[in-house]
Structure 1
Amino acid sequence: MTQFAFVFPGQGSQSVGMLAEMAANYPIVEETFAEASAALGYDLWALTQQGPAEELNKTWQTQPALLTASVALWRVWQQQGGKMPALMAGHSLGEYSALVCAGVINFADAVRLVEMRGKFMQEAVPEGTGGMSAIIGLDDASIAKACEESAEGQVVSPVNFNSPGQVVIAGHKEAVERAGAACKAAGAKRALPLPVSVPSHCALMKPAADKLAVELAKITFNAPTVPVVNNVDVKCETDAAAIRDALVRQLYNPVQWTKSVEFIAAQGVEHLYEVGPGKVLTGLTKRIVDTPDSVGAERAGGAVCGTYAIKEENHEL
């Protein structure tokens, strides 16, 4: 049997109106959002369908919205009799989606947890003082060197190793700008500032991680039904304490996505399916390895969602 894995996207994949067509065909989508709404105390489905986008894009609302979208698609997959993947992984926030779908964290607990995660992240860095930039077309070592030389007493570091030639840096806004210029001087094709208010996965997130650790300790963690590759160590943990620890460290350490996909491929996995709105991870995967195959969560135009794409190729699974 062909081995396949599910991967779950992080922030940036959200959009107003996401999963509308899936909801029209599968009632469990709105039912899943209703569960999340009950946990949060507001109508999450209305926010995702009606916006406004600036509200949906606030990190403490983006995170539960994306987690719920991914869990809804997973439930459709299960309802349709889909097979269990060999592995799961998620990019940043997506790691929480993977842990819910693998049975590690209760869905309602996770929804509340990622809302708090978003609030802690925003509180850690005053708005306007942090920044992130995507560095395109420069090797990892040169990016790390540029960050080190550009810090000048501030924080700036590589935080998302997304694919070969695409690394995101984060830290204090001025330091990120200096490092971006240094990367271009070192040969980077582009240094693209990202429209975010929170510099994720850098040392500035340590206060948020400390608060998150307190909340994680209150939640029951179960053994995963499917191995989940974590972001920071590129390992599949089964011990609850180790999973919690990795989630805490994830907040102020880089997302090792390139290594995660390479690890998944090395386990004999031939197909990756992105479970969530958008196709960010699908594009990254194709730049990391020739195989596994990668199928996005939405086809062109957003008319057909990822679960359909999975079923469409069900003969291969």
Structure 2
Amino acid sequence: MSCSLVFHSVSPKSVSMNSSGLNCSSLAGFKNGIRRFRIKNLDNTRVSMSVSVGSQNTVNDALFSDYRPTHAFLFPGQGAQTVGMGTEAQNVSAASALFKKANAILGFDLLDICINGPKEKLDSTVLSQPAIYVTSLAAVEILRAREGGQCLIESIDVTCGLSLGEYTALAFAGAFSFEDGLKLVKLRGEAMQEASDAANSAMVSVIGLDSEKVQKLCDAANEEVDEGDKVQIANFLCPGNYAVSGGVKGIEAVEAKAKSFKARMMVRLAVAGAFHTRFMESAVSRLEAALAATEIKTPRIPVISNVDAQPHADPGTIKKILARQVTSPVQWEMTLKALLSKGLKKSYELGPGKVIAGIIKRIDKGADIETISA
């Protein structure tokens, strides 16, 4: 079985229903290597537009704006890592091959750290990010090896990932190769760790409040700290669960005031620093340079951005969005609500843990989601 994660366009063929109830012949959006979508022009009339996947020509960034999702792949972010992940991947040759490729790129045995830890080492930003990226894409290969797995993969018409998971989603969608994505993720982890080391910052999850009350809690805390310690909402995850980032004194002020705002729980996050805020600004220039040197193609399916909860088709725009992502709040709640409101039928969480499944159930108890671990 091939370990390639470049998913090429397929011509529609007559295929019987598989065990998942999916019909591969329904993938009629692909024809002669071209993916066709509908977009709106400036006077709101409907026009048809096509683009060769991976084309180096100028691409209308609004190509995917009228997407209608049915089946989605969702990829986890930092925090999903757990000692023992990657074990199942060793039973599938294509999944196992990804770890071997990763070892050659990273210069150390990633699988050994994933399986054996220690936990403190795996939890570090520089290791957890590539570990989750590789394990999540290994989960795709595990799914592919199952009966009907390839047909299911071909049915996926939208993808996204939580923070780091956006890189995994872009790799799955063919925007860049597995190898280039891993190099970007490695650098991203290193840059974010360096930015964290340069500032005394932290993150905390506020449980039990809506986003408006969490914002008021942040405002109250910011009245008591200097500019360098101010806090903000960094992760909009789901109703009742929002992560706040900022200087340590600001985070301590949030924790001290949480009870008066009737927060149910406060959980200090085991991360290196204040991700998705201005505290990560020093990481942006390194990411911009690496992204500029990386070939990025038009994704073959919509990939929803963490920054604005929208899909982007233009490679140049994708590069800018990824550079902004480390300093911008994660709009995960908005992303999931948009997918569900547009008619999403089923989603799959691929990678370690079940964090995303828990989040989407908080948004819609009836949401159909399956977890595929590695």
Structure 1 and Structure 2 fold alike (TM over 0.5): yes
Q: In structure 2, what is the equivalent of residue 92 of structure 1?
A: 163
User: Which residue number corresponds to residue 190 of structure 1?
Assistant: 265
Q: How far 1:27 moved relative to its partner?
A: 1.7
Q: Residue in 2 aligned with 1:111?
A: 182
For 1:119 and 1:246, how far apart are their aligned partners in 2?
Answer: 19
Residue 54 and residue 127 in structure 1: after superposition, are their counterparts in 2 closer, same or farther (change >3 A)? farther
Structure 1 residue aligned with 2:195: 124
1:217 aligns with 2:292: yes
- The CA deviation string for residues 165-216 of structure 1, in whole angstroms up to 9 with x for no partner, is 1000011111011023223311111122112222211110111122211111
Partner-residue secondary structure (3-state), 1:150: helix
Which of the numbers 61, 69, 79 marks the counterpart of 1:12? 79
Contact 1:278–1:297 under 8 Å retained in 2? no
Deviation at 1:127, TM superposition (A): 7.0
- Alignment-derived partner of residue 232 in structure 1: 307
Tell me which moved more, 185-194 or 271-280: 185-194
Q: Secondary structure at the match of 1:125?
A: helix
Which residues of 2 match residues 1-317 of structure 1 at below 5 A?
Answer: 3-24=70-91, 26-79=92-145, 80-83=149-152, 84=154, 85-126=156-197, 129-151=200-222, 152=225, 153=227, 154-298=229-373
Report which of the two has the higher share of helix: 1
User: Would you say how many aligned residue pairs link Structure 1 and Structure 2?
Assistant: 298
The answer to whether the 8 Å contact 2:89/2:96 transfers is: no
Structure 2 CA distance, aligned partners of 1:96 and 1:190? Answer: 31
- Deviation string, structure 1 residues 277-301 (Cα, Å, up to 9, x no partner): 1100000000012343122234xxx
Q: Give the residue type in structure 2 aligned to 1:4.
A: H
Gaps of 5+ in 1: 299-304, 306-317
Query: Quick one: distance in 1 between partners of 2:325 and 2:299?
Result: 18
The separation in 2 between residues aligned to 1:240 and 1:198, in whole angstroms, is 29
CA–CA distance in 2 between the matches of 1:114 and 1:71? 13
Normalising by structure 1, we get a TM-score of 0.89
Distance, in Å, in 1 between the alignment partners of 2:76 and 2:232 is 22
> TM-score of the superposition, structure 2-length normalised?
0.76
Check the 8 A contact 1:86/1:269 in 2, yes or no.
no
CA distance in 1, matches of 2:316, 2:205: 33
> Could you say if the C-alpha distance between residues 27 and 176 of structure 1 is closer, same or farther in structure 2, counting changes exceeding 3 Å?
same
On the 8 A contact 2:143/2:372 being kept in 1, the answer is no
Provide the rounded CA distance (Å) in 2 between the counterparts of 1:148 and 1:119.
31
Counterpart secondary structure, 2:197: coil
Distance 1:177 1:128 in 2: 15
Instruction: State the Cα RMSD in Å.
Output: 1.7
> Quick one: which amino acid aligns to residue 214 of structure 1?
A
| Distance in 2 between residues matched to 1:82 and 1:91, nearest whole Å | 25
Matched to 1:30, the amino acid is S
Counterpart position of 1:314: none
Rg (Cα) greater in structure = 2
8 A contact 1:138–1:189 mirrored in 2 = yes
State the AA in 2 paired with 1:63.
Q
1: CA distance, partners of 2:107 / 2:270: 28
Partner amino acid, structure 2, of 1:45 = L
- Structure 1 stretches of at least 4 aligned residues deviating more than 4 Å after TM superposition: none
Give the AA of the match of 2:77.
Answer: G
